[in-house]
Structure 1
Amino acid sequence: MTRITALPTEIVRALQDGGPDAHGQVPERSVSDGGANPCRHCLHYIPAGKEMLILAHCPFPEAQPYAETGPIFLCADHCKRHEGAQMPEVLEGAPDYLIKGYSADHRIVYGTGIVIPQAEMMARAEAIFADERVEYVHIRSSRNNCYQARIDRG
């Protein structure tokens, strides 16, 4: 069994409280137009008129060649972290996603990356976990490579 894992609350609270992003900058503040601005903590779209943060995020513990950094959105106000087995709102909207497995030392496990229809994503993640080298799976935008969430063993 697998589960979707949102960004940890302690990381998000530090950013929401004005802490620096992955590039050492204070997150930009903007107002959502109600479009596709997915918060990586509550895993809901940020509603129109609500303040949001735009920042650089690196979902890895330290700098190394495979530690991709890219833009993400967060609710500017404290929000509740996504928990549970249900598919979160932000992962229901796109027709497909890029998923790829990473090892315990946070390196891409070659041969696991695939752009896959959303409806097949979790089943494919289960198959990726059959490779004993895989510790976790990233879900990324298939069009912009933006980090969405992580899939962990349940």
Structure 2
Amino acid sequence: MGFGRRDAVVSREQKLVYAGIYVLKKMDLKPAEGGMEMPLVLPSELTPLEDVLQELVNAGLVEVNRRKARFEITKKGMAYLSEIIDEAEALIEEFDEEELEDAVAELRRRNVDVLRARFLWGWYDGELDDLVLFQQRRGATPVEQWWADYLMSDALYEALISDFERA
């Protein structure tokens, strides 16, 4: 790879979708399980999620609760989250025992987005729950300490793609 400009590994729209799925899980889980409330006025470390939350509101998956000064998942959002969980469970059930190369080849044969499959797998099984730990396990340097920045960066998606691009 040269020093010239290169295209992003995923589009901004894809990042908004993946980050939206990630944020919905965070909002759904109890704080003791790694979840969190999303306040209407985001602290500086969460500002990269402003567009993500706006997209979730626009899609009717999250609503603004002004009285509690936070975003909340709607019934439609819970149904969507349930569909995503079902999708992830089906992937894991079908491909858990497969060699990576075979699973990737089959997904490609079916025209399934391999990055989405890889993201959902890590999202569902907890591998992506702590994005700082995810980076540390992979030997990333430097490690991005603010998970929202990493979630919206190319680096996360490059790491996920590197898991299967050799397959």
Relative to the length of structure 2, the TM-score reads 0.27
| Greater gyration radius | 2
Relative to the length of structure 1, the TM-score reads 0.29
Q: Which one has a larger percent strand, Structure 1 or Structure 2?
A: 1
